[in-house]
């Protein structure tokens, strides 16, 4: 009588997934990470010396983190232990540490691989510290999240952080060739569809091999074109997490592309964020900030357009309203830039903190009572509208404090005319004419 596993086809002879069958057997076989694993790479040097340091492997999914940890243990002669922060708790950690301690007493080193290590909370991460410090385990943690944000500083100080790269087209093509060699047949794709398949994997080697296995199972010898390929396979959604590092990386890229006056790059990053599922209103809020910080008085219309784009998106929703955001991005990236107002405001805040509670000069104070008039409030004030040219040139700074220059407009766009006016008014204040 067969059990449930046999009924499901999960017998010892059931074929394993293609990605598992093609898992590299040596560090030299790992593709796309030569900067770490090559003879001159830091991990490659460790493996050659058979002396491993605790480390954090940080990189996108499907770039080889688990494989590298296994091969490091094999190369260094370490016992390999693996736990996942998703399924493991304090009891599992204690058991792993105790087993490692016993091995160490017997002269055997242990490499403890912790997948998704960022999912352990701060207290659990602290639990690694004494065992790593004493050398009871050599810790290899894997994470897709920025360790600076997700891991304790104390743990990071005991580990080296190595960044794995997203697999490029060359590395992914090498995986396809390896899969075709192992299966002893070519993928049923024309040249353009092959490139499309690589693009669909989005840098994830494991996902590419999963797609490859599906293609090899369709049983056709007629090469598929890109349109036919996408009918068989679902394109992977771009890697994007609205609450984590990718969110901040892409909005930073959009902001700096607008500041750098590159409308094409700015549109690209806008599209990347929207395709990834970002909240368009978050982008709209950031556009308002860009208009005030990086364009300012050089093109005052930009600030109005950002709020108009937000209102347009509120009115239309997606996808129609996204075009208003695109129009706004193109306008701002193409507009003259000035951070003069931004710098002036920062300088004003610093000055306000330094000078404390200085009062305005008496001549610009209102005098609604007789007592206040007796004290000199408003005495000598010149009403600027009654003066020829509309500017009296009076002092508006606190008594005893020298006039400061905070706003220095740039000779760019609309701000150039502002500069001309302010220069003339400053001469009036200085020279009286």
CB atoms inside a 10 Å sphere around CB 281: 13
What's the pLDDT tens digit per position in 161-182? 999 999 999 999 999 999 999 9
**In the prediction, which pLDDT does 131 show?**
93
C-alpha to C-alpha distance for 426 and 433, rounded to whole angstroms: 10
At 239, is the pLDDT very low, low, confident or very high (cuts 50, 70, 90)? low
Residue 197 · residue 180 · CB < 8 Å? no
Asked if the model's pLDDT at residue 380 lies above 90, the reply is: no
What's the pLDDT tens digit per position in 255-277? 999 999 999 999 999 999 998 88
**In the prediction, which pLDDT does 414 show?**
92
Asked if the model's pLDDT at residue 4 lies above 60, the reply is: no
What's the pLDDT tens digit per position in 278-293? 889 999 999 999 999 9
Asked if the model's pLDDT at residue 28 lies above 90, the reply is: yes
The rounded mean pLDDT for the chain is: 88
**In the prediction, which pLDDT does 40 show?**
93
Quote the crossing angle between the two packed helices 322-334 and 280-290, to the nearest 10°. Answer: 20
DSSP, collapsed to helix, strand or coil, labels residue 272 as helix
331, 334, 342: which is closest to 410 by C-alpha?
Answer: 342
C-alpha to C-alpha distance for 163 and 42, rounded to whole angstroms: 11
At 111, is the pLDDT very low, low, confident or very high (cuts 50, 70, 90)? very high
C-alpha to C-alpha distance for 138 and 153, rounded to whole angstroms: 18
**In the prediction, which pLDDT does 98 show?**
93
Judging by beta carbons within 10 Å of its beta carbon (0-12, 13-18, 19+), is residue 176 exposed, middle or buried? Answer: buried
C-alpha to C-alpha distance for 186 and 90, rounded to whole angstroms: 48
Mean pLDDT is highest, among 11-25, 201-215, 235-249, 357-371, for 201-215
CB atoms inside a 10 Å sphere around CB 122: 11
Instruction: Locate all alpha helices (DSSP H) within 50-113, ordered by sequence.
Output: 65-76, 90-105
Residue 357 · residue 347 · CB < 8 Å? no
**In the prediction, which pLDDT does 1 show?**
43
CB atoms inside a 10 Å sphere around CB 400: 7
Give the DSSP per-residue string, 293-343. Answer: IIIGGGSTHHHHHHHHHHHHHHHH-TTTTHHHHHHHHHHHHHS----HHHH
At 231, is the pLDDT very low, low, confident or very high (cuts 50, 70, 90)? confident
Give the residue, 237 or 34, on which the prediction is more confident.
34
What's the pLDDT tens digit per position in 127-166? 899 999 999 999 999 999 889 888 988 999 999 999 999 9
Of 59-63, 201-205, 383-387, the range with the lowest mean pLDDT is: 383-387
Asked if the model's pLDDT at residue 101 lies above 90, the reply is: yes
At 37, is the pLDDT very low, low, confident or very high (cuts 50, 70, 90)? very high
Residue 160 · residue 77 · CB < 8 Å? no
Quick one: DSSP state of residue 362?
A: G
C-alpha to C-alpha distance for 305 and 13, rounded to whole angstroms: 65
Residue 361 · residue 395 · CB < 8 Å? yes
C-alpha to C-alpha distance for 18 and 171, rounded to whole angstroms: 17
Largest Cα–Cα separation, the chain: 109
Q: What percent of the chain has pLDDT over 70?
A: 93
**In the prediction, which pLDDT does 368 show?**
83
420, 401, 403, 424: which is closest to 411 by C-alpha?
Answer: 420
Mean pLDDT is highest, among 50-59, 225-234, 420-429, for 50-59
Asked if the model's pLDDT at residue 118 lies above 80, the reply is: yes
283, 262, 260: which is closest to 271 by C-alpha?
Answer: 283
pLDDT (mean) for 422-432: 85
**In the prediction, which pLDDT does 431 show?**
80
What global pTM score does this model have? Answer: 0.67
What's the pLDDT tens digit per position in 296-345? 999 999 999 999 999 999 999 888 999 999 999 999 999 999 999 999 99
């Amino acid at each position: 009588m067969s059990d449930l596993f046999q009924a499901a086809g999960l017998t010892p002879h059931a074929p394993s997934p293609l990605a598992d069958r093609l898992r590299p057997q040596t560090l030299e076989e790992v593709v796309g990470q030569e900067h770490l694993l090559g003879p001159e790479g830091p991990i490659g040097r460790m493996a050659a010396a058979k002396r491993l340091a605790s480390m954090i492997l940080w990189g996108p999914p499907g770039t080889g983190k688990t494989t590298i940890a296994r091969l490091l243990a094999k190369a260094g002669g370490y016992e390999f232990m693996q736990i996942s922060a998703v399924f493991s708790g304090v009891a599992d950690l204690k058991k792993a540490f105790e087993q490692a301690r016993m091995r160490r007493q017997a002269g055997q080193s242990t490499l403890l691989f912790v997948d998704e290590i960022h999912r352990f909370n701060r207290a659990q991460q602290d639990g690694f510290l004494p065992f790593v410090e004493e050398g009871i385990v050599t810790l290899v943690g894997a994470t897709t999240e920025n360790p600076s944000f997700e891991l304790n500083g104390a743990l990071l100080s005991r580990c080296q952080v190595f960044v794995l790269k997203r697999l490029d087209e060359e590395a992914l093509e090498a995986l396809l060739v390896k899969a075709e060699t192992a299966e002893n047949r070519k993928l049923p794709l024309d040249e353009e569809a092959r490139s499309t398949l690589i693009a669909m994997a989005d840098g994830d080697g494991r996902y590419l091999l999963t797609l490859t296995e599906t293609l090899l199972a369709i049983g056709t010898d007629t090469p598929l074109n890109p349109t036919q390929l996408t009918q068989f396979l679902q394109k992977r959604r771009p890697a994007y997490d609205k609450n984590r590092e990718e969110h901040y990386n892409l909005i930073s890229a959009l902001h700096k592309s607008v500041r750098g006056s590159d409308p094409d790059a700015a549109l690209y990053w806008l599209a990347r964020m929207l395709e990834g599922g970002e909240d368009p209103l978050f982008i709209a809020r950031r556009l308002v900030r860009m208009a005030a910080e990086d364009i300012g008085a050089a093109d005052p219309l930009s600030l109005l357009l950002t709020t108009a784009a937000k209102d347009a998106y509120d009115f239309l929703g997606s996808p129609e309203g996204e075009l208003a955001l695109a129009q706004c991005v193109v306008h701002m990236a193409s507009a003259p830039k000035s951070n003069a107002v931004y710098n002036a405001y920062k300088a004003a805040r610093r000055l306000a903190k330094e000078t404390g509670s200085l009062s305005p000069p008496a001549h610009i104070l209102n005098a609604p009572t007789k007592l206040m008039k007796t004290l000199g409030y408003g005495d000598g004030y010149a009403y600027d509208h009654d003066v020829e040219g509309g500017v009296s040139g009076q002092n508006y700074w606190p008594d005893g404090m020298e006039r400061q220059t905070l706003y220095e407009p740039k000779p760019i766009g609309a701000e150039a005319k502002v500069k001309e006016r302010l220069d003339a008014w400053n001469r009036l204040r200085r020279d009286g004419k």
